[in-house]
Amino acid sequence: MKLVILDRDGVINHDSDQFIKSPEEWRPIPGSLEAIARLSQWGYRVVVATNQSGIGRGLFDMDALNAIHDRMLKAVALAGGRIDSIFFCPHAADSTCECRKPRPGMLREVAQRYSTDLKDVPAVGDSLRDLQAAAAVGAQPILVLTGKGARTREHPDLPRGTLVFPDLAAAAAHIAA
């Protein structure tokens, strides 16, 4: 099975320091929906794994998160693609949970759900914690320079072997090559 794991904010949609709290605030990054569509059409199962500490902080609730994800799923479908599942950590940043990236719990859950080893599975993110979680499970960390990516690129703790692309469209083209 071909699998790809995507972070949400800063990879698929524009990020916000004030959090994405409603469907109206969810705006796709140009080219990201088409990139997901291409991955789907090339036979990849596309999975989203996203920290959503705004829930734990009380900034929005599960109904709002579900509405945001519904908007994203519909937008991807309109572009001809499909997101197979969405995994999220609802806990605040100070939580000691195992699911909040950079901890690998959420990605281990992906591996369990799909009964697969994540070794060399492409995991695309824009922040250091996305890449660290990927590296912790043996996935291929891929940094996109959208969202926080341009700042992340210079981080001294970037996992060894991290691939860097300008955006999800370029990363998808590499994944499929």
Q: Is residue 37 part of a domain?
A: yes
Helix (H, G, I), strand (E, B) or coil at 94: coil
Model pTM? Answer: 0.97
Q: What is the reported pLDDT for 80?
A: 98
Q: What is the reported pLDDT for 82?
A: 98
Q: In what order do the strands lie in the sheet with 122-125?
A: 85-89, 44-51, 2-6, 122-125, 140-144, 163-165
Whether residue 141 contacts residue 159, with contact meaning beta carbons closer than 8 Å, is answered with yes
Answer yes or no: 126 catalytic.
no
DSSP 85: E
One digit per residue, the tens of pLDDT, for the chain of length 177 reads: 899 999 999 999 999 999 999 999 999 999 999 999 999 999 999 999 999 999 999 999 999 999 999 999 999 999 999 999 999 999 998 999 999 999 999 999 999 999 999 999 999 999 999 999 999 999 999 999 999 999 999 999 999 999 999 999 999 999 998
Answer yes or no: 63 catalytic.
no
Sequence-separated (6 or more) residues with CB below 8 Å from residue 127: 7, 10, 101, 147, 148, 149, 152
DSSP 88: E
The string of DSSP codes covering 15-67 is --TT---SGGG--BPTTHHHHHHHHHHTTEEEEEEEE-HHHHTTSS-HHHHHH
Active site residue: 7, 126, 130, 167, which one? 7
Q: Is residue 158 part of a domain?
A: no
Q: Is residue 155 part of a domain?
A: no
CATH number of the CATH domain containing 113:
3.40.50.1000
- The number of distinct structural domains making up the chain is 1
| Domain span at 6 | 2-147+163-176
CA 52, CA 74: separation in Å to the nearest integer?
20
Q: What is the reported pLDDT for 131?
A: 98
Q: What is the reported pLDDT for 172?
A: 98
Chain-centroid distance of CA 159 in Å reads 17
**Residue 106: phi, psi to the nearest 5?**
-65, -40
Cα angle vertex 135, ends 115, 120, to 5°? Answer: 50
Q: Is residue 10 part of a domain?
A: yes
Q: What is the reported pLDDT for 110?
A: 98
Q: Is residue 157 part of a domain?
A: no
Q: Is residue 152 part of a domain?
A: no
Active site residue: 9, 15, 130, 167, which one? 9
